[in-house]
């Protein structure tokens, strides 16, 4: 497997899908593949990619911060799935959004539009929220899945209202610190060569090193419920191990096992796109997890080229970190992921 995966990823690097990649595969409790390939950039100061490089998680923020914090708050009884968003954010209760629930935000079935370019107006977090409060619904809730950053921006506000803490502080105290994820944070401040940089921007005359790639999040101060987190392979491995171990890390329960199980169920049977609470589920159609992982597989992707998928039936976890937006906002990673997962599953016994 090692040679086939290395060869495959090297071919993608040669095609300039990404300058480098870090991959870790765990099967039945054992790490069977742990590789770093290529370089962190193609700049003059580039270095070999390593498992220590810091990546922009992009939308993995949704399942590494917002989702587990929500599951903790469900467990504590502070909130429940069918709570109305307007119970915590009264200003949201207008234009047909009065009955939208937390579950609908988590499963991308709330009726909210997918995206707004708030950065074009240089909106701050509060201004973004004010804008979302005025939104009309773009479809009838619970009739289809429309992957929406707006929902997770709202969930950040719900979390802050319920906990009385900024999202990043609560996540640090209740997730990252207990899990020993010491390199996982918003707005990191590492040395330049520690990053896997993202997109080139003319006004910087450089690629983004440690500056969040998501445009809206950048203008929101680098912190949101949908993007903004930075992390490393070792830290993500700690996080996925906690998921594999029913929410337990070093004997301490981080997330309740009943809520973890609940989160992996399909809440969107009305759609061809299977969604759990936060999670992308394998489903029957196209999946970044490929064609061979079991129907119980769950995980998520990040626009910058990050992903992890867990197949509890096969006891298989695949974490892939790339910085594919280094070359711009093109989509070859969409084809890379399923082919990579297929190669891994095909060669599991070899």
Q: Does residue 14 contact residue 148 with C-beta atoms inside 8 Å? A: no
CATH code: domain of residue 186: 3.40.710.10
Q: pTM here?
A: 0.96
The whole-number pLDDT of residue 203 equals 85
**Which of the four pLDDT bands, split at 50, 70 and 90, describes residue 285?**
confident
**What range does the domain containing 8 cover?**
2-346
Q: What is the distance between the alpha carbons of residues 111 and 95, in angstroms, rounded to a whole number?
A: 11
Instruction: Return the number of other C-beta atoms located less than 10 Å from residue 169's C-beta.
Output: 12
Give the angle 111-262-229 at the CA atoms, nearest 5°.
65
The whole-number pLDDT of residue 284 equals 82
Average pLDDT over residues 19-32: 97
pLDDT digits (tens, 9 = 90+) for 211-259: 999 999 999 999 999 999 999 999 999 999 999 999 999 999 999 999 9
When divided into structural domains, the chain yields a total of 1
**Is residue 55 helix, strand or coil?**
strand
Residue 350, pLDDT above cutoff 80: no
Nearest CA-CA partner of 232 in 32, 52, 11, 83 = 52
Q: Where are the alpha helices (DSSP H) in 134-279?
A: 149-163, 167-171, 177-179, 215-219, 233-244, 257-263
The chain-wide mean pLDDT, for the chain, equals: 96
The whole-number pLDDT of residue 332 equals 83
The whole-number pLDDT of residue 49 equals 98
Average pLDDT over residues 189-199: 96
């Amino acid at each position: 497997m090692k040679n086939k995966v290395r060869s495959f990823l090297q071919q993608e690097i040669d095609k300039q899908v990404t300058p480098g990649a870090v991959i870790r595969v765990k099967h039945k409790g054992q790490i069977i593949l742990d590789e770093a390939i290529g370089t962190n950039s193609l700049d003059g100061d580039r270095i070999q990619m390593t498992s220590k490089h810091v990546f922009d998680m992009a939308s993995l923020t949704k399942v590494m911060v917002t989702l587990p914090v929500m599951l903790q708050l469900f467990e504590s009884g502070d909130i429940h799935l069918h709570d109305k968003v307007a119970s915590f954010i009264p200003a949201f209760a207008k234009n047909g959004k009065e009955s939208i629930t937390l579950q609908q935000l988590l499963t991308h079935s709330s009726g909210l539009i997918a995206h707004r370019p708030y950065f074009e107006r240089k909106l701050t977090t509060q201004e973004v929220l004010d804008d979302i409060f005025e939104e009309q619904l773009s479809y009838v809730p619970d009739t289809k899945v429309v992957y929406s950053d707006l929902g997770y921006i709202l969930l950040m506000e719900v979390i802050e209202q319920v906990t009385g803490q900024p999202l990043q502080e609560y996540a640090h105290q209740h997730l990252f610190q207990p899990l020993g994820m010491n390199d996982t944070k918003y707005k990191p401040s590492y040395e330049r060569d520690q990053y896997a940089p993202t997109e080139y921007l003319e006004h910087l005359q450089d690629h983004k090193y440690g500056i969040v790639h998501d445009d809206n999040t950048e203008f929101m101060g680098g912190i949101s419920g949908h993007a903004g987190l930075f992390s490393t392979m070792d830290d993500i491995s700690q996080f996925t191990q906690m998921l594999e171990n029913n929410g337990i890390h070093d004997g301490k329960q981080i997330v309740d096992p009943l809520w973890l199980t609940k989160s992996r169920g399909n809440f969107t049977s009305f759609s061809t796109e299977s969604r759990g609470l936060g999670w992308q589920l394998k489903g029957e159609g196209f999946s970044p997890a490929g064609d061979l992982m079991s129907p119980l597989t769950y995980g998520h992707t990040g626009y910058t080229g990050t992903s992890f998928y867990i197949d509890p039936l096969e006891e298989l976890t695949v974490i892939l970190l790339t910085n594919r937006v280094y070359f711009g906002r093109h989509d070859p990673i969409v084809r890379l992921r399923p082919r990579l997962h297929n190669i891994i599953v095909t060669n599991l016994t070899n």
